[in-house]
Amino acid sequence: MPAEITIRSDMYCQAEPKEFKEIIQSNIIQQTAFWARVKKQQGIEPYAFSFKAKELNNQQPTSQQTIYDDILILLQYIDHEHCIAYVPYGPENEPSEEKRGKMLEELSEIIRPHLPKKCLLIRYDLPWENPWSREEDYFDEYNNWTGPPSVHSQEMRLNFDTQKWNLYKTPSDVLPTNTIFLNLENESEQLLGNMKPKTRYNIRLSQRRGVNVKTYSMDYLDEWYKLYRETSVRNGITLHHKKYFETVLQTRTDDLNSPADVRLLMADYNNEYLAAMFLIISKKRGTYLYGASSDKHRNLMATYALQWEAIKQSKQAGCTEYDLFGSAPNPYTSHPMHGLYRFKSGFGGKMFHRMGCWDYPFDLKNTNYCVPVK
């Protein structure tokens, strides 16, 4: 078991606990007070911390900047006494690359005394850009990213300047590591112009053929769930209970520092629902969080009309970006998410590759890196 780091007042990173309701606003929905309350209502205990990290300016070594941020941690028990502390897409704000590991190490040790004694590890689902996605050697001749190097190389890089060399890449990730962001600061015509011709054509075809997309109330959750269940069976994905989505739609936000605007959008044709999604607006980002579609009338391209409406609503709400949330990292047909890549890349956004899940174990002997996270 790695020895604990001595906490000093002059450490690079400092943190203290706070009420989850006080979590500051974030573009990342999974790092909001809204998400903390959703998870609490689903039986997962939220912990919140505010932290700061002192960041030296590389161009001006005598000057110093400070990163201020909040972090949401979800405590999940894997048996009657052991738990893990999961950080969904956090921390949001990142230091310079050479300080990433140092910040995570110190943050983990500061948070450690506030967690249950038999907490096995902190699992960071890092939203930070994968450093190898900025290096030419990791792209093929067609400018497609081929992925990061070996786990050993990744761990060598992140553990740079740490005291204990205790950050480990997990074998699998929880939240999507690859996504596509649209810049909503562009005008609607420019957004359409940036799309692939087939995507733009399908949006207009769907409109011409009478597919209507609008926002629906909680009363239509059963219709959503029918589509969602059909999609889950078709694609072999985890089927959440309907209560899960009720919680997302009904969670109270009026007393939270970082609320969210949750909208259920559905596309119908002659009173038959063909596609649906949850659009969640947080700060300046709209996120396509859950989606479903029917096998019927696929020639009407309802999913294209649905996404275009979500993009327009996000823009109208003042968002500057739209997250299509999950894709293959490249167009290789061998990837299981190739279909999502083909669909989502058509909207003309920019691919973003996150770092994925990293563990900071407190006790290596009792750590199981296949621990599931919900």
Q: What was the pLDDT predicted at 373? A: 57
Pick the CATH number of 13-175+354-366 from 3.30.1760, 3.40.630, 3.40.50, 3.30.530: 3.40.630
- Relative to beta strand 285-293, strand 272-282 is antiparallel
pTM comes to: 0.92
How far apart, in Å, are the Cα atoms of 142 and each of 133, 136, 332? 14, 11, 11
Question: First vs last Cα of the chain: how many Å apart?
Answer: 26
What distance in Å separates the CA atoms of residue 10 and residue 7, rounded to the nearest whole number?
Answer: 9
* CATH value of 185-319 in 3.90.1310.10, 3.30.1300.10, 3.40.630.30, 3.40.309.10: 3.40.630.30
Predicted pLDDT at 364: 67
Determine the Cα–Cα distance for residues 109 and 15; give it in Å rounded to an integer.
10
Task: Please state the separation of Cα 237 from the chain's center in Å.
Answer: 18
Q: What per-residue confidence (pLDDT) applies to 53?
A: 87
Q: Please give the pLDDT value at position 353.
A: 97
Please check whether residue 302 is in contact with residue 269, taking contact to mean a CB–CB distance below 8 angstroms. yes
Q: Which tokens hold the place of 13?
A: 């990173």
pLDDT value, residue 13: 85
pLDDT of residue 5: 54
pLDDT digits (tens, 9 = 90+) for 313-348: 999 999 999 999 999 999 999 998 899 999 999 999
Same fold, 13-175+354-366 and 185-319: yes
Q: Which pLDDT does position 7 carry in this prediction?
A: 47
Residues of the chain predicted below pLDDT 50: 1-3, 7-9, 57, 59-63, 369-370
What residue ranges do the domains of the chain occupy?
A: 13-175+354-366, 185-319
